[in-house]
Structure 1
Amino acid sequence: MRNDPVQARGKPANPVQARGERADPIQAQGEPSSRRDAWFRAFFDDQFASLHRYLARFTGDPEVAGELAQEAFIRLYRRRGRPDQPRAWLFTVAMNLARNAKTKASRQRRLLTLERSTHVLSDPPGAPGTTCGSASTRVRVKRALAALSGRDRQLLLLRAEGYSYKDLAAALELNEASVGTLLSRAKAAFKDAYQEYADAP
Structure 2
Amino acid sequence: MSIVLPRSEGVTMAPARTDVDAELREVYDAHYGRLAGWTNRLVGDPDLAHDLATEAFVKLVREWGRVDEPKAWLYAVTANLVRDHWRKRGREHSAYLRHEGGAPAEGRDDPDVATQVSVRTAVQSLPDRLRVAVLLYYFADLSVGSVATQLGKSEGAVKRDLFEARKSLAAMLEGAR
Query: Normalised by the size of structure 1, how large is the TM-score?
Result: 0.42
Query: Normalised by the size of structure 2, how large is the TM-score?
Result: 0.48
Which has the larger Rg?
1
Q: Which is bigger in relative contact order (C-alpha 8 A, separation at least 6)?
A: 2
